[in-house]
Amino acid sequence: MNAGPGVPPRRAFSPAMARLVMKFGGTSVADVERIRNVARHVKREVDAGHEVAVVVSAMAGTTNELVSWCRDAAALHDAREYDAVVASGEQVTAGLLAIVLEGMSVNARSWQGWQLPILTSNAHGAARILDINGQELVKRFKERKEVAVVAGFQGVHKDTGRVTTLGRGGSDTSAVAMAAAIRAERCDIYTDVDGVYTSDPRVVPRAHRLDKIAFEEMLELASLGAKVLQVRSVELGMVHNVRIFVRSSFDKPEDIDPHGTPPGTLICDEEEIVEQQVVTGIAFSKDEAQISVRHVPDKPGVAAAIFGPLAESNINVDMIVQNVSADGATTDLTFTVPAADYDRARDTIAKAKVGIGYARLDGATDVAKVSVIGIGMRSHAGVAAKAFRALADRGINIRAITTSEIKFSVLIDAAFTELAVRTLHTLYGLDKA
């Protein structure tokens, strides 16, 4: 990223004068009244002496509508024109917010991706940011105290000059990349929840908001489907060490002390987390399906014969369990795929039957994956064993297990999801007092 001058200090939450990126999602800019509320949040930080770049999403529902118009226009359409259409949502919000800010006597101007520019790859619909030029923004912070209102989600292809978009939820990534480019002290993600929780509060009433979470942990949570942030934005935050602060946009702007520590969750380097828990959060997903391939020959090349065709069909395989053969001849192989791909995955395996040479195909869609995450697992033994005992005590059968350095997941019957998640939440001391 193309850094601007002046690296601010890193420690204090909000030093006397800081450079901030403030990102507002679709529900926070859903109508002009809410955009006014956003402007008051921005004005508060500007009045406190901070240099501010705002990144906005399209108004809630807009991108969905634009996407469906493209589909209506032609089921198979040119991805470059899709980007031209869907990038427009953010352009509207950026302009509106700049208008409202000007009306409140805050210097502001809107920026589209191509104007800065935000250079991307040419993967239309899922482009990656390659470079952002933040120099002009920084110059304007200094010379005119001007707020930059940047359209999220969009960029421009570095060679063709065509408009690109970053994939759904991409304005989170725009915001973090922008923060890296202008060396912001922090990237504030204002959203409709007030932070990252130890688990989904709708399932675990005792879930509590985390004050801090490490990048690696948040990456696992986001990959497991926590909707707070686009996965890519967390990756970028980790690579560029951009502190990301998830906070609510519905708090009254004037009630917040711009130099204090407001409610929210800071996603940061693990070094910054003093009181590290062994387990940080429990995630779960019911969108899983299990497929078991029975009596496959136990010889080299069988896994390739199964997972090769699945990969070619673009089916993401998650957990994989293979037994050691008892008779030296055949074994069973179990894996999970997203529930939406279940039928396609079964078809794919059935078509490859001759090459694989299995006896029977079994499957289940009424399964759920429960995952326990925490960087403390690196240095503590027996964390997972405790969970297996607790689940067994509740009569919950485990169908498959996978582990990594900072996470383990179990596949169970979907009917037991809530019980399992609550049990583990209590087991690892995450219940709020």
Q: Which stretch binds ligand ASP (CB under 6 A): 162-170, 280-288, 310-318, 403-411?
A: 162-170
63 binds, among Mg ion, ligand ASP, none (CB under 5 to 8 A by kind): ligand ASP
Cα separation, 256 vs 41, in Å, equals 9
168 binds ligand ASP (CB under 6 A): yes
Work out how close the CB of 63 gets to ligand ASP at its nearest, in angstroms, rounded to a whole number.
3
Q: Which two tokens stand for residue 352?
A: 């490859």
Closest approach, Cβ 229 to Mg ion, in A, equals 7
Coil, helix or strand for 147?
A: strand
Q: Which does 153 bind (CB under 5 to 8 A by kind): Mg ion, ligand ASP, none?
A: ligand ASP
Looking up tokens 């759920």 gives 368
Nearest to 291 by CA among 313, 312, 321: 321
Give the binding site for Mg ion (CB under 5 A).
25, 169
Q: Which structure tokens are listed for 87? A: 């990038």
Least Å distance, CB 209 to Mg ion, is: 18
For the CB of residue 235, give the shortest distance to Mg ion in the complex, in Å.
16
Distances from the Cα of 182 to the Cαs of 19, 41, 178, 310, in angstroms? Answer: 8, 20, 6, 42
Does 153 bind ligand ASP (CB under 6 A)? Our answer is: yes
Of 4 and 152, which CB lies nearer to ligand ASP in the complex structure? Answer: 152
Residues 6+ apart with CB under 8 A from 249: 24, 25, 27, 28, 37, 38, 41, 190, 191, 192
Residue type, 258: P
Q: Considering the complex, what minimum distance in angstroms separates the CB of residue 83 from ligand ASP? A: 12
Does position 171 interact with ligand ASP (CB under 6 A)? The reply is: yes
Q: Is 89 one of the binding residues for ligand ASP (CB under 6 A)?
A: yes
Among 169, 237, 264, 281, binds ligand ASP (CB under 6 A): 169
Judged by CB, which is closer to ligand ASP: 245, or 428? 245
CA distance 181 to 9: 16
155 interacts with ligand ASP by CB under 6 A: no
Place of tokens 């949040």: 41
Q: DSSP secondary structure string, 77-141?
A: --HHHHHHHHTHHHHHHHHHHHHHHHHTT--EEEE-GGGTTEEE-S-TTS--EEEEB-HHHHHHH
Q: Which is nearer to ligand ASP, 57 or 336 (CB)?
A: 57
Candidate list 14, 37, 63, 290; residue touching ligand ASP; CB under 6 A: 63
Q: Residue numbers of the site for ligand ASP (CB under 6 A)?
A: 25-26, 57-58, 63, 89, 152-153, 168-172
